Amino acid sequence: MKEKLALFGGKPVRRKPFAPYNFIGKEELRAASKVISSGVLSKFIGCYDPDFLGGPKVLELETKWAKYMGAKYAISINSCTSGLYAACGAVGIGPGDEVIVSPYTMTASASCVLVYNAIPVFADVDEDTFCVSPKTIEKVISPRTKAMVVVHIMGHPADMDGIMKLARKHNLKVIEDCAQAPGAEYKNKKVGTIGDIGVFSLNYHKTIHTGEGGVAVTDDKELANRMRLIRNHAEAVVEDMGVTNIVNLLGFNYRMTEIEAAIGIEQLKKLDRLTKPRIKLANYLTQKLSNVEGITPPVVKPLTKHVYYIYAIKYEEKVIGIPRDIFIRALKAEGIPFYNGYSKPLYLQPIYQKQIVYGNKGCPFTCKYYSKKVNYKKGICPTAEKLYEKELMYTNLCRPLLTFKDMDDIVTAIKKVISQKDSLKSLK
């Protein structure tokens, strides 16, 4: 007899919790303690002064991050969101402009466009990588397009050759959102170093983190300077610094503290060591799932390095015979945490459906510099909608401290649920 599903009172595949992910250790404690002992918790000053660029640990992190990534300049910020906002300002996005973005990502990948009174235009994602692609981007380029925000979602690089070819053809700026992909590579280049600006996250649940924080990279000196200005109250210093191009130089406070920077220096040392087991475990899990009918493991394109912030699989309801959400309920009962859909397409959020951002007049959508009617109707990005509603399921279990035995439990649970799928058909 087949073993009863845990959902119906049977013994679960796994009772023991998976090992937590925590790689903040003695090194970070020592680094933070030294900063506290020094009394210099931040050294930024919002006026034209040598300390305008930050304290010693901020500068050290920026130097080491740029070297690791193979970029000329690195700019620390207090979050990846802030970095995206600063990047959009630095490249000159403004009222009447359109910026092509992914709908299948965290909201900041598009709200960074709205901050500068410009219009996000959503390009559908690729069936395999879940990233925007040259094919999907080209369909929505218009004379108003100024830039694109390319997200390396879940740790897999987007098709940067094709994207950069389009950018050169149409004179577009490219901002790489690398929040989930530190250490990922496209044709032996680190993601973030291929477009005009790359932005990384150091939020607490990323592969490496400082609690909150981020770093941006660029090879363009002017863009680096503009990001530094936006980070630190630009309007207060542009006159003294002799800056004449003040477009988008209303500044903010996006500054990183010395404690965060000190922790970030230690975390950066661990990045490769923390990425390798993710890849190793993901490859093992993919091999074990490759012959499971109705389950498609992650696709890794040639000449790319996927760093598996998330391990995402595609679920075929027609093949397996039960809805994805019921399948996930059964898996969780077996002790295996999977989740459904990932991100609801951003254009279906109220801010886009109601087209209200600033005040109650509909700006920037009704801005006099934007004479078009933007389309955010359901159906504009069918692949993203299908992934969210029916196909994609994911876990964060491909991570350090877990083992091949842990991966075997995942496979065993998936196969167990599939073998007992008929018992699940009555559930709603």
pLDDT of residue 1: 46
Query: For 26-268, which CATH class?
Result: alpha beta
Digit-coded pLDDT (tens) for 64-80: 999 999 999 999 999 99
Alpha carbons 59 and 101: distance in angstroms, whole number: 31
pLDDT of residue 76: 98
Mapped onto helix, strand or coil, the DSSP state of residue 299 is coil
Share above pLDDT 90 across residues of the chain, in percent, rounded to a whole number: 95
Alpha carbons 5 and 132: distance in angstroms, whole number: 39
Sketch the domain layout of the chain as residue ranges.
26-268
Lookup: tokens for 298: 């992650």
Phi, psi dihedrals of residue 363, rounded to the nearest 5°: -70, 145
Type of residue at 75: I
Give the DSSP per-residue string, 21-43.
-----HHHHHHHHHHHHHT-S--
Digit-coded pLDDT (tens) for 231-288: 999 999 999 999 999 999 999 999 999 999 999 999 999 999 999 999 999 999 999 9
Alpha carbons 133 and 140: distance in angstroms, whole number: 11
Alpha carbons 16 and 409: distance in angstroms, whole number: 11
Asked if 123 and 137 count as a contact pair (C-beta separation under 8 A), the reply is: yes
Pairing of strands 214-218, 197-201: antiparallel
pTM exceeding 0.95:
yes
* Residue among 229, 199, 212 at smallest CA distance from 79: 212
pLDDT of residue 100: 98
> 73 - beta bridge partners?
218
Beta strands per DSSP E along 137-267? 145-151, 173-177, 185-186, 189-190, 197-201, 214-218
Q: Give the residue ranges of the chain where pLDDT is below 50.
A: 1
Pairing of strands 197-201, 189-190: unpaired
Maximum Cα interatomic distance, the chain, rounded to a whole number of Å: 81
